[in-house]
Amino acid sequence: MVHGRSIRARMTIATVGSFGVILLAGVGMISATYPVRARSDLVDQADEASRRVTTLVDRQRIAGPIPPQDGVGLLQVVDERGIVVAASTGLAGRPPLTRSRPSGGDSRVSERLCSPAGCMMVVGTSNRATVYGPIVAYAAVREPFLLRSSFLPAILFGSSAVLLALMGWAAWYGVGRVLAPVERIRRGLERISAEDLSGRVEVPPSGDEVAELATTVNDTLTRLEDAVEHQRRFVSDASHELRTPITALIVRLEAGMEERTEADWRAALDDAQRLSDIVGDLLLMARLDAGAEPPVERFELGRLVEDEVGRRPGRLPVTLDVEPGVCVRGTRLRLARVLTNLLSNADRYGDSMVRVTVRGDGDTAVLEVTDDGPGIPEEMRERVFERFTRLDRTRSRDTGGSGLGLPIARNIARAHGGDLKVAEGTATRMILCLPRE
């Protein structure tokens, strides 16, 4: 849980920090630019109003107060003597707003005037040809409260602080909601041990990436459980397989020491050879499980079959049907081991003959080994590729194989990108498929 809180805190700090930098930069920019922009808009508004007033006095005097112009109600007309000759209702009877007048050929003057009552932007526009003679028309616009006080930065920065606090709480809460299923997955994995791999983690109903993670974890645990169980069965079966010839070897050696008959010594030698074969198969299976990749070469599959059948004596005659030019790429010794295992099974369980066929089928090289024995029941055609599996209960462990021949053969075939399977039918027909070169 400590790690979850650490990630939660880091993600919250990162979110608030990055958002806070952007927010504070924006607040600082607004604080610096808003007063200037707002006062510029007020000056433009007052300027337009003062220009309109100058046109009103071009040919006639204003009777009564000056009407508001474009929403501006503080208006005055001041002659060249500095006397107010016309004013709006809000400035009636009051002295000129300012003594500033346009000069240097400029027809406009602007000024910011402040008093205890507040500040205003004043713009004066001159007109020399009016019924009053040369005049200056003044228009004034009061500044908003926020613009003329220090509250604007305080409000902006205070609002930013509140927004960051809400952002931090939302990030903390949101990250916590996201990490809660991950934390449950972690606790579930913590309860699973090597002695009991049957436990699984909870899959949240959200259907998101966390749910996919939990499903993947459970699938991995299932594969791990199967691998551990497979390893346990393998160790148990290997121990049993090794115990049988070792026990027989000890018994025969003990009998041989007393009687010293040739039959006992020959039987002991057979047991030692079977023990050596089992150990060799176990070592090869271990290399295949480890994924060791010996050097590969391109060779003709039919030539390999002819060589192996020619050098291997057997109980039954072997008939060959080899299509020339069917080449594969792989490890010659290991593929020869596949053929040897298939021939051994066919020779052991066939009745009168063994047939080996090599042919090409598109991009696939096919090798078939068929015998006329009792065949393999349909429900057992996959089990024969499990380690230490024997089908016929009458077949003695002393005279049968190690139970590793077909599993080794299939592993080699799949390591070469192919497969080994039992074909349908009453006879036993083993089919090896490999990529064709």
pLDDT (tens place) for every residue of the chain, 437 residues total = 445 567 777 878 888 888 788 887 887 787 777 778 888 888 999 999 999 998 888 888 888 899 998 889 899 999 988 899 999 998 888 999 898 888 877 888 989 888 887 888 999 999 888 888 899 999 999 888 767 666 767 777 788 888 888 888 888 877 777 777 777 777 777 777 666 677 777 787 877 777 888 888 888 888 887 777 776 666 666 666 666 667 766 766 666 555 556 666 666 666 666 666 666 666 666 666 656 667 889 999 999 999 999 888 888 999 999 999 999 999 898 899 899 989 988 988 888 999 999 999 999 999 999 998 888 888 888 888 887 776 654 333 344 556 778 888 898 899 889 999 999 877 889 999 999 98
Among residues 365, 371, 364, 346, the alpha carbon closest in space to that of 302 is found at 365
Q: Which helix (H) or strand (E) holds 77?
A: strand 74-79
> Cβ(310)–Cβ(420) under 8 Å?
no
Among residues 297, 357, 350, 291, the alpha carbon closest in space to that of 323 is found at 357
Residues in a beta bridge with 77: 86, 137
Q: What is the pLDDT of residue 392?
A: 54
> Cβ(298)–Cβ(328) under 8 Å?
yes
Q: What is the pLDDT of residue 359?
A: 94
Q: What is the pLDDT of residue 117?
A: 76
Q: What is the pLDDT of residue 385?
A: 86
Q: What is the pLDDT of residue 192?
A: 73
* Residue 358 Ramachandran class (φ > 0 left, ψ -120 to 50 alpha, else beta): beta
Q: What is the 3-state secondary structure (H, E, C) of 78-144?
A: EECCCCEEEECHHHCCCCCCCCCCCCCCCCEEEEEEEECCEEEEEEEEEECCCCCCCEEEEEEEECC
Residues comprising the chain, all counted: 437
Q: Which residue has the tokens 């090409």?
A: 360
Q: What is the pLDDT of residue 190?
A: 77
Task: State the angle between helix axes of 151-191 and 2-56 in degrees (0 to 180), rounded to the nearest 10.
Answer: 160
Residues in a beta bridge with 429: 370
